[in-house]
A and B are shown apart, each in its own frame.
Chain A
Amino acid sequence: DAKTTQPNSMESNEEEPVHLPCNHSTISGTDYIHWYRQLPSQGPEYVIHGLTSNVNNRMASLAIAEDRKSSTLILHRATLRDAAVYYCILWGKSTFGDGTTLTVKP
């Protein structure tokens, strides 16, 4: 079963960009890469997804490596409200993985 690996935690300063990495070396050709974030006591929130090309939306950007074995979620200007657990998943797999806890310092 394809899985993802992420750093347990990362820190960022407010107003600075944040690059959250994710490795998915066993990804198959049809696996979509999804990112979600979960604030305390809330359900996960969709952030962005992509297949092969880099993607941008109002929340973030997703950079996908050419071999698709890794990806990076980019928050262009971190705010205190971005502090959350960020999950990178291959959509359709049954487990989310442990995610990265992002701390944003004022």
Chain B
Amino acid sequence: SAVISQKPSRDICQRGTSLTIQCQVDSQVTMMFWYRQQPGQSLTLIATANQGSEATYESGFVIDKFPISRPNLTFSTLTVSNMSPEDSSIYLCSVLIWGEQYFGPGTRLTVT
């Protein structure tokens, strides 16, 4: 299993600003993922971030809006850039270990 922490746990931001979310894992993992969960909805994959390679973005998500860093096997950041109210969501990081996927507690972002 894996213990995943995220910072911040929640934030309220003004439109036009950017927020960087940190994800820390207690073990070394190759595959890490970032998801978005909009209010009352299911999870949507933003991108896959494997250490040592560029992040792979899903349809509808672009690097300029959601830049991701993956400097080592236990850490990643997701930046939500030039925020608008439509970016208000819970953002979750996740890792895959031996076929099992584990999720962080999420970062609740509200954009005003």
Binding site for B on A (CB under 8 A): 32, 34, 36, 42-46, 49, 87, 91, 94-99
B103-A44 in contact (CB<8A): yes
A94-B99 in contact (CB<8A): no
Known pairs A95-B43, A96-B44, A99-B42; A49 contacts B105 (CB<8 A): no
A97-B42 in contact (CB<8A): yes
A46-B102 in contact (CB<8A): yes
In terms of DSSP, what is the predominant structure of the interface of chain A? loop
B42-A36 in contact (CB<8A): no
In terms of DSSP, what is the predominant structure of the interface of chain B? strand
Closest 10 CB pairs of A and B: A43-B103, A94-B45, A96-B43, A96-B42, A94-B58, A46-B100, A44-B103, A43-B92, A43-B106, A43-B105
Residues of B within 8 A of A96 (CB): 42-44
Interface string of B90-108 (1 = CB under 8 A from A): 0010100001111111100
Bound complex: CA A29 to CA B50 (Å): 25
Residues of B within 8 A of A97 (CB): 42
Bound complex: CA A32 to CA B104 (Å): 22
B100-A43 in contact (CB<8A): no
CB distance from B38 to the nearest CB of A (A): 12
CB distance from B99 to the nearest CB of A (A): 6
Residues of A within 8 A of B53 (CB): none
